[in-house]
Amino acid sequence: MIARNPDYEAVVRASFAVQGLMAHYGAELARVEAGAVDIAVPFCAALSQQHGYFHAGVTSAIADTACGYAALTLMPAGSEVLTVEFKINLLAPARGDELVARGRVVRSGRTLTVCQGDVYGVGAEGELHCATMVATVIRVSAPG
């Protein structure tokens, strides 16, 4: 996929850095390429649901964020992204030492971008596919 803004990585990293929720989760950008962004978050009890696994809210937040930034990597300078909607299927308990969301652009349009996000629990036994998301993202012009 072709990036129209050569500085896309800096744009994504600057936006990510001011997201209170991602800092709060201890999440980090593990990969930023044209059309592909990965976000990883280490397990801690504050991110759990009632059975001690990662809460679906964390799973969906990092998948949505990875999808939004994957979309942003392909947009012209001066763009920002808003999530229009997403749908997520929770395939297996989100357990592991770390949760990794991989956002990939499926179709990049002038106004709307469709992304797929897959989330994996990573631990001693390897990777477990725990969720799959499809998200629709809209481009908006960054304020002045």
- Show the tokens assigned to 10: 């800096």
Question: What is the amino acid identity at position 26?
Answer: G
> How many CB atoms are located within 10 Å of the residue 53 CB?
20
Instruction: Please identify which residue in 55, 79, 98, 122 interacts with its own copies, judged by CB under 8 A.
Output: 55
From 117, 49, 39, select the one nearest 85 (Cα to Cα): 117
Return the range that interacts with its own copies (CB under 8 A); candidates 3-11, 30-38, 75-83, 119-127.
75-83
Please state the closest distance from residue 3 (CB atom) to its own copies, in A.
20
Give whole-number Cα distances, 88 to 7, 96, 133, in Å: 30, 19, 4
Scanning 3-11, 30-38, 59-67, 119-127 for contacts with its own copies by CB under 8 A, the matching segment is 59-67
- Is 92 a binder of its own copies (CB under 8 A)? yes
CA distance 109 to 2: 13
Any contact of residue 26 with its own copies (CB under 8 A)?
no
Q: Applying CB under 8 A, which residues contact its own copies? A: 15-16, 18-24, 45-50, 55-58, 60-62, 64-65, 80, 82-92, 106-107, 111-112, 114, 116, 129, 132, 134, 136, 138
